[in-house]
Amino acid sequence: MKPNRDASELAARLGAAANKPVPLPGSQQTIERQPVRREQNNAKEKKNNTTVGISLRPTKELLARYTIAAAERTMTEGRVVSAQEVMLEVLNKGP
């Protein structure tokens, strides 16, 4: 394999950088910090702020029933309907 033509320059720069002292916290040098962007969180909050997240643990049989119902609705409506969507509709109807 041929040696890289810039290998000696790279070795010199690495050697020079290794010999420099590492700046300690509180020293004369200051580093400017960039503000953290939170655009994704703001978009999520604005999108749907009327709902809350909960965790449900249905039995295997109940989940299978909702999954089958969702699969049937997916076939009839021509769009993907999740089991969670079917559960929410049933909960919204109430007793």
CB 51 within 8 A of CB 34: no
Does residue 88 register a pLDDT over 80? yes
Residue 59 and residue 65: Cα distance in Å, rounded?
Answer: 10
Task: Give me the residue spans of the domains in the chain.
Answer: 56-95
pTM of the entire predicted model: 0.48
For 16-57, the pLDDT digits (tens) are: 888 887 777 766 655 566 676 666 555 555 665 788 888 889
